[in-house]
Structure 1
Amino acid sequence: MASDPHAALPASLRLEFEDGHLHAAPFGAHLLSWHCGGSERLYLSPRASFGAGKAIRGGVPVIFPQFSARGDGPRHGFARTLTWEALDTADAASPRLSFRLTDREETRRHWPYRFEAELDLEPTAERLRIALSVRNTDPNPIEFTAALHTYLRVADIAGTLVHGLEDRPYVDSTRGDAHCPPSDAPVRFEGEVDRIYPDTRQPLRLTDGEQLLRLEAEGFADTVVWNPGAELAAGLADLGAGEHRHFVCVEAGNVLSPVRLEPGAAWTGAQILTVEPSAGR
């Protein structure tokens, strides 16, 4: 049996709340575990690397200030590979974990702006709000793309569906960013799936035959749905053959159109995950 990947993170933090707990690391402000209602709701690869400067495979990586290779900086930005400051939330009205990242030499090497980012994790009994806030502290306007790269654990991808995108066109990254019409059907996972759905406003639902998870977004315009499929997964050293069957990524993001902030302005985007009773209960 694979060892617990959380054991390799002595700097990680644990937050208890009603009927569950969170496990997060200041490295990347990375949410590693959301245990709620008796079940783990996030996927963390048993081969995840926790070395300095390496992104963690699974949980919720924070993508900022660049999505994928859509820019001149590091792929998916630098936020996920830098250590954030863990904030004191002892006096918060409800349980939460908060982390802050401000510009420094490492960030200005790739993105020459001053900024302040904060990630807030706010759980309740059956709900989790993950909020990313960015403030422009630079004298010039800034533009960035961002996403919460959420790895959701599923029983088996063969029976997994994402509902709520049936009427939305999408950009298919597996086909050279081809623009595709609405599918008029829930998203299924038969091979690699890598899609960007612009302007998605309604709640989404993830079903895998055992659970029902509602996904909502605030401040984020787009939804990214991703699973590497068997062939790509087998070639990822921090994932491994067959592991793709146990997760899907449904990401809230601003990907296709960047956020623009004038000096002193701030923006917040959030993803809200809610566990709902399955149809058979």
Structure 2
Amino acid sequence: MDTDLAARVQESDVVLLDGGEGTSVVVHLHGATALSWKCGGREILFLSKQAVLDSSKAIRGGIPLVFPQFGPWTCGPQHGFARNKRWSVDSQPQMENGTVKCSLALTDDEDTRKVWNYQFKLVYTLELTTSSLSTRLTVHNTGGESFTFTTLMHSYFLTPDISTTSVRGLKGLTYTDKVQDGKDFQEDRDDVTIPENYDRVYQKCPSTVTMDCSSHTVSVNLSNFTDVVVWNPWSEKAKTMSDFGNEEYKTMVCVEAGSVSSPVEIAAGQQLSFQQTLKVHAKL
């Protein structure tokens, strides 16, 4: 963990996956939020310099987890409670055949049942290699009735310059534009660039989309996720966010794997897994 991040967090609040050779992941137990992913010494994730890391609110940056509700929620906090709860370590980081693996867990409690009266267990598994990070969320319905949910991995990627950053793999897809009153449109570009406030939910996505910037690309491989959200608050909205710097929109983009356009149903006693695999491709 670099010195700047180490100075901002309590050691007891984070778990470190160390793959050696400048490759590591730091996960905060608040929300099971990956704060940092370094690949060959390069930081891949964006974490706001103003992010609150004292477990009092959701963390602005990294990879927060959304469950059981994406977006506004009449029952509780926006994007659900998973990103605001303290998770437990289900299995400590362990190296095996060149892969570092760790699991965190969250189960229903009195607080969650007050807003969403279902029994569940979430298991979040991270697997780190020299060039990739896989994050898998397994939802266990431990109660006696079915329930529905939406879920998403809210990945914030660091980029040298948003003006030379694009997202590929979305051409031809229908997207809901939350900036334009939730209207639906069709994407006609090979390279989706972000020149303004973006909040778009792309539906029925292919298995891989790619974030491309001047220094590297990150491929996002989806397993059991149906949607990808592309988000950047741009200048005016950035100024309204207390945990986000006014100019930080220039060095980040969110490319978020999720199942959010329609609810997922899980029967009593069943489990469902959702996974993204992020892989870094350096440019020569």
Distance in 1 of aligned mates of 2:210 and 2:78: 28
The 8 Å contact of residues 169 and 183 in structure 1, kept in 2 or not, is answered as no
2:257 corresponding residue in structure 1: 252
Deviations 1:92-140 (A, max 9, x none): 7341221100000111111100000011110101011011110001100
Report the CA distance between 1:202 and its aligned residue: 3.2
Question: What do you get for the CA RMSD once the two structures are aligned?
Answer: 1.5
Distance in 2 of aligned mates of 1:151 and 1:240: 14
2:226 corresponding residue in structure 1: 221
2:104 is aligned with 1:99:
yes
Distance in 2 of aligned mates of 1:59 and 1:6: 15
1:159 corresponding residue in structure 2: 164
2:183 is aligned with 1:178:
yes
2:78 is aligned with 1:75:
yes
What TM-score does the superposition give when structure 1 sets the normalisation length? 0.94
C-alpha spacing 1:6/1:81, structure 2 compared with 1 (3 Å): farther
Deviations 1:194-230 (A, max 9, x none): 0001110231111111111111110111100000011
1:48 corresponding residue in structure 2: 51
2:15 is aligned with 1:13:
yes
The 8 Å contact of residues 100 and 117 in structure 1, kept in 2 or not, is answered as yes
Report the CA distance between 1:71 and its aligned residue: 5.0
1:137 corresponding residue in structure 2: 142
88-97 or 205-214: bigger deviation: 88-97
How many aligned positions are there?
Answer: 277
229-238 or 62-71: bigger deviation: 62-71
The 8 Å contact of residues 207 and 223 in structure 2, kept in 1 or not, is answered as no
Q: Which runs of 4+ in 1 moved over 6 A?
A: none
Identify which of 78, 86, 91 aligns with 2:89: 86
The 8 Å contact of residues 93 and 102 in structure 2, kept in 1 or not, is answered as no
Distance in 2 of aligned mates of 1:108 and 1:117: 15
What TM-score does the superposition give when structure 2 sets the normalisation length? 0.93
C-alpha spacing 1:229/1:134, structure 2 compared with 1 (3 Å): same
The 8 Å contact of residues 53 and 82 in structure 1, kept in 2 or not, is answered as no
Identify which of 108, 116, 121 aligns with 2:113: 108
**Paired-residue identity, %:** 34
The 8 Å contact of residues 156 and 254 in structure 2, kept in 1 or not, is answered as yes
Partner AA of 2:273 in structure 1: T
Partner AA of 1:85 in structure 2: S
Distance in 2 of aligned mates of 1:24 and 1:92: 16
Any stretches of 5+ residues in structure 1 without a counterpart? none
The 8 Å contact of residues 74 and 110 in structure 1, kept in 2 or not, is answered as no
Identify which of 228, 239, 242 aligns with 2:247: 242
2:124 is aligned with 1:119:
yes
